[in-house]
């Protein structure tokens, strides 16, 4: 489903739009559009977090605990020798290993139970957390039961306190779905679990392990999901959906897909891209460059425990967030980003008239006032005379204006 991993770096839809735009302009026809760019910003940045393991105390003599010990003890040594980690990371991981027995005894702090520290790292930028609704249930595939290790050792109600704390901080909490992608009744149960805790009715979904197929959008819509943010790669980063933009999948009538572009495990896991922090920054920068060029969103998934031992990918995350901020992104929750795209999708060109060298455009749209505004972009073909006025704008080939007021980040 979607672009093959070999084409992951290509925002195919945006390139096709650019070709069509150039063909229209080369024919001497002026063109007006509402670009996928929030007024006052260059693009949208969605910081999201899949909450898979909010507590190491929940893992006793299972594959997750033994995996942690292997990577913290031996993996840290290999990473230092390969230049993938600093000596302080090695020391932090070995210290965590020594603390682990005391964590299980309740005598030391659970070093994985700090996922809400993301609010500090993000410095006030709003983010979205996808939490698992039911404990110890791996779910199903189209062919039968999913692997047992897909089941999580916690459920949403186990972290109800941290969830409410996140919402109070302006963050969003959605469903990290299990069976919602293939069964609408299961999806309704998963969504209702989050609604009971948060008190919020409009809830979005990202499927655990990114399970999805062609029927998933319709199934999720029937379940009552407000949006989905599952379409992305496990093994690499880029454009599985072929676009920077949120879109309505085939068969859906209201559900919007917010595609996933960057995932931490894809960048750093040895079985995937296995990049150093510098290499990861260069790969991510290319995705940000495309967002600056074309607009749309950069949707990031940094897992809950990725800033804790043994991963310790917090520095790379801070570098990424700082770069997004430097490149003038609007930081939004996934729900806010989807609402903005709905606002853009509601826009209708009620009038487009060209008379006596003057182009007049009237646009109607709906949308929440607290969201950033839309922009109107007018392209003047090079063949037009330089004294042709475009909405009373200066002469030139492109003119932009706000369609409503800007809302500060």
- The residues spanned by each domain of the chain are 43-54+112-341, 56-109
Q: What is the pLDDT of residues 18-32, one digit of tens each?
A: 999 999 988 888 889
Residues contacting 401, CB < 8 A, separation 6+: 375, 376, 391, 393
CA distances to 123, 154, 186, 355 from 165, in Å: 16, 18, 27, 57
The whole-number pLDDT of residue 391 equals 42
Would strands 398-402 and 375-379 be described as parallel, antiparallel, or unpaired? Answer: antiparallel
Closest by Cα among 176, 183, 244 to 205? 176
Alpha helical stretches, state H, 49-115: 63-70, 76-81, 87-104
Is the Cβ–Cβ distance between 73 and 159 less than 8 Å?
no
Q: What is the pLDDT of residues 172-218, one digit of tens each?
A: 999 999 999 999 999 999 999 999 999 999 999 999 999 999 999 99
Give me the torsion for CA of 148, 151, 154, 159, rounded to 10°: 170
Is the Cβ–Cβ distance between 258 and 265 less than 8 Å?
no
Buried b (16+ CB within 10 A) or exposed e, 90-124: bebbbebeebbeebbeeeeebbbbbbbebbebbee
CA distances to 221, 237, 263, 273 from 267, in Å: 31, 7, 7, 5
Residues contacting 102, CB < 8 A, separation 6+: 108
Round to whole Å and give the CA distance between 117 and 119.
5
Q: What is the CATH number of domain 43-54+112-341?
A: 3.20.20.370
The whole-number pLDDT of residue 408 equals 37
> What's the pTM?
0.93
Q: What is the largest CA-CA distance in the chain?
A: 81
Sign of CA dihedral 109, 114, 117, 119: negative
Round to whole Å and give the CA distance between 67 and 69.
5
Q: Peptide bond preceding 299: is omega within 30 degrees of 0, i.e. cis?
A: no
The whole-number pLDDT of residue 386 equals 40
Round to whole Å and give the CA distance between 84 and 99.
24
The whole-number pLDDT of residue 232 equals 98
Altogether, the residues listed in the chain come to a count of 409
Q: Give bridge partners of residue 275 from the DSSP assignment.
A: none
The whole-number pLDDT of residue 359 equals 72
Is the Cβ–Cβ distance between 328 and 135 less than 8 Å?
no
The whole-number pLDDT of residue 381 equals 82
The ranges of the chain with pLDDT < 70 are 357, 382-397, 404-409
Closest by Cα among 106, 104, 81, 80 to 92? 80
The whole-number pLDDT of residue 233 equals 98
Question: What percentage of the chain has pLDDT greater than the value 90?
Answer: 82
Round to whole Å and give the CA distance between 234 and 256.
21
């Amino acid at each position: 489903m979607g672009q093959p991993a070999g084409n992951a770096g290509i925002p195919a839809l945006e390139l096709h739009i650019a070709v069509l735009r150039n063909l229209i302009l080369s024919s001497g026809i002026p063109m007006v559009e509402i670009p996928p760019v929030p007024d006052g910003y260059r693009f949208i940045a969605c910081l999201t977090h899949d909450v898979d393991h909010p507590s190491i105390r929940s893992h006793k003599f299972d594959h997750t605990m033994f995996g942690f010990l292997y990577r913290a003890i031996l993996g840290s040594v290999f990473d230092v020798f390969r230049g993938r980690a600093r000596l302080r990371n090695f020391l932090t991981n070995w210290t965590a290993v020594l603390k682990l027995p005391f964590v299980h005894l309740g005598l030391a702090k659970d070093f994985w139970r700090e996922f809400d520290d993301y609010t500090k790292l993000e410095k006030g930028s709003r983010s979205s957390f996808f939490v698992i609704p039911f404990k110890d249930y791996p779910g199903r595939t189209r062919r039968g039961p999913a692997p047992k290790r897909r089941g999580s050792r916690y459920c949403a109600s186990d972290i109800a306190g941290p969830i409410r704390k996140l919402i109070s901080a302006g963050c969003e909490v959605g469903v990290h779905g299990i069976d919602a992608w293939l069964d609408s009744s299961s999806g309704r149960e998963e969504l209702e679990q989050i609604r009971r805790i948060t008190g919020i009715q409009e809830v979005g979904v990202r499927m655990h392990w990114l399970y999805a197929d062609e029927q998933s959008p319709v199934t999720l819509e029937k379940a009552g999901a407000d949006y989905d943010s599952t379409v992305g790669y496990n093994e690499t980063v880029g454009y599985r959906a072929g676009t920077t933009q949120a879109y309505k999948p085939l068969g859906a009538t209201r559900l919007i897909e917010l595609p996933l572009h960057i995932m931490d495990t894809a960048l750093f896991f040895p079985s995937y891209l296995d990049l150093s922090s510098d290499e990861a920054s260069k790969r991510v920068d290319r995705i940000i460059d495309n967002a600056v060029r074309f607009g749309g969103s950069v949707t990031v998934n940094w897992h809950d425990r990725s800033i804790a031992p043994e991963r310790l990918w917090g520095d790379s995350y801070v570098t990424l967030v700082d770069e997004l901020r430097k490149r003038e992104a609007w930081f939004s929750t996934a729900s806010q980003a989807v609402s903005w795209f709905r606002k853009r999708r509601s826009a209708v060109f009620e009038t487009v008239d060209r008379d006596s060298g003057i182009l007049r455009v009237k646009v109607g749209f709906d949308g929440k006032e607290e969201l950033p505004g839309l922009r109107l972009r007018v392209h003047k073909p090079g063949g037009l005379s330089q004294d042709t006025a475009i909405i009373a704008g200066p002469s030139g080939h492109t003119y932009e204006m706000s369609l409503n007021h800007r809302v500060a980040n």
